[in-house]
Structure 1
């Protein structure tokens, strides 16, 4: 898209998971499990006490699309996917029937609640999303969209969730006119220009009200980013979309703007909304922005806009009140080194700076406590490592297979939107700011024998760090109803889908380069599926071999 941010369009509705189902472990089932591996039962030990995760912990999906991609990769590409998948990223609900949308929202929020964590859900199905470009799709009409959103809301219920409502939903509105009276570029011929704008606002207002029916659902509307709309223009749209009944707005979805720029930009939007809604005469067109009195390309001038807002608050008799004003969240998934500047003299008709720009790095890790006034969270809204689409920089060039080729990446074809892009994932990891910690453990997990209702496995953990690990504890999760019954060579305990294997009493310390191995046996209600990929040794993410 021209000014917007391309989103993942991979449907997230075809991954049924039986999380929380606990097959009964009967004496006969245990006997069968032991017979499969030829082991003798050992006395059960009491499960160790672990405090419940904070309800302000962002949820990491152990079967996310990133984890699924990791299972298809090897070597460095797998390491990158596993590392990125060990951090919380959003689940996108992009298509399907209202019943399917409900089921996916229920799956995500139930699983997160079981883990004592908060998931981020992106609702991305508005009619004419992305103005029918790279991420084309969406509901057919307002009635279909309202039903889809109602399904998501019903699936969330009263469980905690953060909802990112329609990326680009306010940045790209069919047949819209900006605050300056200028007609915008999105003008689809098959949309009624007389009702298109009103329809968009009606759809978003309905969505806000439906989703806010859940007492613990936090809803954020599209606030674009600091390289796009002026603060007054987006504040005007947010007000019309119902931001006063939502929790606020989100910035930088799937984009690359620097966090310090976004914090200022978001603060101005919040101030503009407050001034425009609480004063009898102030209106969004009066609001300062990155374009005036500041200069967009010179961050040192942005203090001029700060001063304008201070003056405007004084002239209206109002006082900034962070407790009352609209808050915002920032997508930091890919903004570690800021936006991309195309090479001079490139000759491309459209540089598409938002589309798989090279040499970007991941930004701040997800947190629901960033410690910045008005900022509720840093989130990974865009799933880092998933492609923005088949970018061509406006050249129209294709390869022999008809795929658009990307001159910014040596003329190679980028993956389709939402598909895993190993090259970009490597860049995001290597250039991350702040840097990722280097994994200090490697895990090999192998299923050794599997029957329809029992299984056995072997696990080896290697200390790949430089410090000795004493009394180690390895954790992971199952996603298909498996139940670990016993461990040989480790004390194994399972709570829900979460498994903890700890060093046996009297075990030697795990020195750098050393390994520890143990065996598992268990039951399952159906044949076990994909192996787990996310392991943590003493709370730190491991690579998988």
Structure 2
């Protein structure tokens, strides 16, 4: 899963999707949410809520999470709704639509809202622990089309689009900025057409400098999306992320993208304060606030996007990125470490 380098933490250093008919060329007009009701009548508010179940339904709990089937001491993790990630290493293009559709059907059957992550862009993670992704723009477009087919034509899912892909721009192994932004714009637009709420990832509050990040998000198609995600697979406290998101929303509005909303990954941000220098499978990290629909001041929800107990890479006792590790799960739960993964 996505990792962070030390410089990203140190200061020198890491979205209603709209139906296309509601989007202008430069300005997002988000779908209704409770804090936007204004002077609407109680009847009209209730009617809108009935039309979009994401406003009221719980988040989907999949029974195939990494913590499922582990020892009982990890039940707290296994019984918490989490995002499901789609990457070509686990879900090749040929079977992707069926896999996404299966997830949507499972959520529909339990009257819950699925949270999905698209994580397949070429040069993913720019050669770091979660490096990989597809080879070239044509393969990526095919993957996105398959992902969108799986969502269907009236999707009620939440989709986080390409963690880190914007914030990593400028890294040596991610040099083709124009091509990357074009691929992201294609992904956001295709997902938007399904009805899903798409959140284009925007890094996190300590991934600096982020001057110009709003313009990158605009070029990547955020005007077609519900908004953006922050703190995916990271550890920044919720107040820090809310302050960062508030500033980013202000910058987006200034350049013509108004009403962008956001979600925050709180799966591993429960520590009182981050510890500089220990940022990959950190020894100090703890589980964060449980996922919750919020719809307040631009914040749609806190989500568990990263799977707690999954490794960031072979650091601090971890195994390969994306693999379950008892030791790491025990740390997050504030228990004595298991001797190994």
Q: Deviations over 1:167-192 (max 9, x none)?
A: 0010112xx3xxxxxxxxx223xx7x
For 2:186 and 2:325, the matched residues in 1 are separated by 35
Equivalent residue, structure 1, for 2:199: 220
Change (3 A) 1:255 1:133: same
Which of 307, 314, 317 is residue 390 of structure 1 equivalent to? 314
Could you tell me whether the CA contact under 8 Å between 1:219 and 1:248 is conserved in 2? Answer: yes
Equivalent residue, structure 1, for 2:166: 170
Change (3 A) 1:336 1:114: same
For 2:334 and 2:203, the matched residues in 1 are separated by 27
Q: Deviations over 1:188-219 (max 9, x none)?
A: 3xx7x5xx11110110000011101112x010
Which of 139, 148, 157 is residue 143 of structure 2 equivalent to? 148
For 1:4 and 1:382, the matched residues in 2 are separated by 18
Equivalent residue, structure 1, for 2:73: 80
Equivalent residue, structure 1, for 2:242: 263
- TM normalised by structure 2 equals 0.79
Equivalent residue, structure 2, for 1:422: 326
For 1:272 and 1:53, the matched residues in 2 are separated by 27
Equivalent residue, structure 2, for 1:365: 290
Equivalent residue, structure 1, for 2:25: none
Equivalent residue, structure 1, for 2:219: 240
Could you tell me whether the CA contact under 8 Å between 1:89 and 1:381 is conserved in 2? Answer: yes
Equivalent residue, structure 1, for 2:301: 377
* Offset at residue 97 of structure 1 (A): 2.9
Equivalent residue, structure 2, for 1:505: none
Q: Deviations over 1:370-407 (max 9, x none)?
A: 2531000100010011111102xxxxxxxxxxxxxx3x
- Decide which structure has greater strand share: 1
Could you tell me whether the CA contact under 8 Å between 2:83 and 2:306 is conserved in 1? Answer: yes
How many pairs are equivalent?
A: 285
Could you tell me whether the CA contact under 8 Å between 1:98 and 1:150 is conserved in 2? Answer: no
Change (3 A) 1:331 1:360: same
Equivalent residue, structure 2, for 1:205: 185
After superposition, the CA RMSD in angstroms is 2.1
Equivalent residue, structure 1, for 2:42: none
Higher Rg: 1
For 2:160 and 2:179, the matched residues in 1 are separated by 20
For 1:380 and 1:80, the matched residues in 2 are separated by 19
Equivalent residue, structure 2, for 1:311: none
Could you tell me whether the CA contact under 8 Å between 2:137 and 2:183 is conserved in 1? Answer: yes
Equivalent residue, structure 2, for 1:60: 61
For 2:107 and 2:56, the matched residues in 1 are separated by 10
Could you tell me whether the CA contact under 8 Å between 1:388 and 1:418 is conserved in 2? Answer: yes
For 1:80 and 1:127, the matched residues in 2 are separated by 37
Could you tell me whether the CA contact under 8 Å between 1:258 and 1:339 is conserved in 2? Answer: yes
Equivalent residue, structure 2, for 1:159: 155
Which aligned pairs between 1:120-519 and structure 2 lie closer than 5 A?
120-157=115-152, 158-173=154-169, 176=170, 186-188=171-173, 193=175, 196-215=176-195, 217-277=196-256, 324-342=258-276, 351=277, 353-368=278-293, 370=294, 372-391=296-315, 406=316, 413-430=317-334
For 1:277 and 1:206, the matched residues in 2 are separated by 20
Could you tell me whether the CA contact under 8 Å between 1:331 and 1:380 is conserved in 2? Answer: yes
For 2:273 and 2:309, the matched residues in 1 are separated by 17
Per the alignment, in what secondary structure is the counterpart of residue 296 of structure 2? coil
Could you tell me whether the CA contact under 8 Å between 1:231 and 1:269 is conserved in 2? Answer: no
For 2:161 and 2:281, the matched residues in 1 are separated by 23
Structure 1: segments with no counterpart, 5+ residues: 6-51, 71-77, 177-185, 279-323, 343-350, 392-405, 407-412, 432-545
Equivalent residue, structure 2, for 1:437: none
Could you tell me whether the CA contact under 8 Å between 2:8 and 2:208 is conserved in 1? Answer: no
- Decide which structure has greater helix share: 2
Equivalent residue, structure 2, for 1:289: none
* Offset at residue 81 of structure 1 (A): 2.3
Per the alignment, in what secondary structure is the counterpart of residue 134 of structure 1? coil
